[in-house]
Homo-oligomer: A and B are copies of this chain.
């Protein structure tokens, strides 16, 4: 319990808006990319295998983000992902964004396992759930 998956993004010119800071929408793309990385690298279930071969998906049920401080061109953004709640077919991630130890945003991102053929939710298979459980954050 309590493992954290960490991944880094370089803040690029194309992420930034006329105010010179990251356009907030790009943070959601990075959160979603962190989830994609976690599935591939931590769970061993790549999005390619998931979507194309197994015809499964994890569509987003809800997501939200609090933006604490702006990010700037050239920042090295570290995203730290954990599981706030692991349901029968859903996963609610918590994702922190930091630059040099300074908190930039805090997101909650809930996805649910779905068959792309029936378009119905499905229970998360046991062999995947076992790999996910170490990332469930201890309750405070």
User: A residues touching B (Cβ–Cβ < 8 Å)?
Assistant: 12-14, 16-21, 23-25, 28-29, 32-33, 36, 46-48, 51-52, 57, 59-67, 70, 72-74, 108, 116
Q: Which of B24, B36, B116 contacts A32 (CB 8 A)?
A: B24
- Chain B residues closer than 8 Å to A64, beta-carbon distance: 62-65, 108
Q: How far is the CB of A58 from chain B (nearest CB, A)?
A: 10
- Chain B residues closer than 8 Å to A14, beta-carbon distance: 17, 23, 25, 29, 32-33
Q: Are A16 and B17 interface neighbours, CB within 8 A?
A: yes
Q: Are B59 and A19 interface neighbours, CB within 8 A?
A: yes
Q: Are A51 and B18 interface neighbours, CB within 8 A?
A: yes
Q: How far is the CB of A9 from chain B (nearest CB, A)?
A: 12
Q: Are A51 and B73 interface neighbours, CB within 8 A?
A: yes
Q: Are B61 and A67 interface neighbours, CB within 8 A?
A: yes
- Chain B residues closer than 8 Å to A12, beta-carbon distance: 33, 36, 47
Q: Which of A18, A21, A63, A72 is most buried by chain B, counting CB atoms within 10 A of its CB?
A: A18
Q: Which of A14, A21, A67 is most buried by chain B, counting CB atoms within 10 A of its CB?
A: A14
Q: Which of A25, A33, A48, A66 is most buried by chain B, counting CB atoms within 10 A of its CB?
A: A25
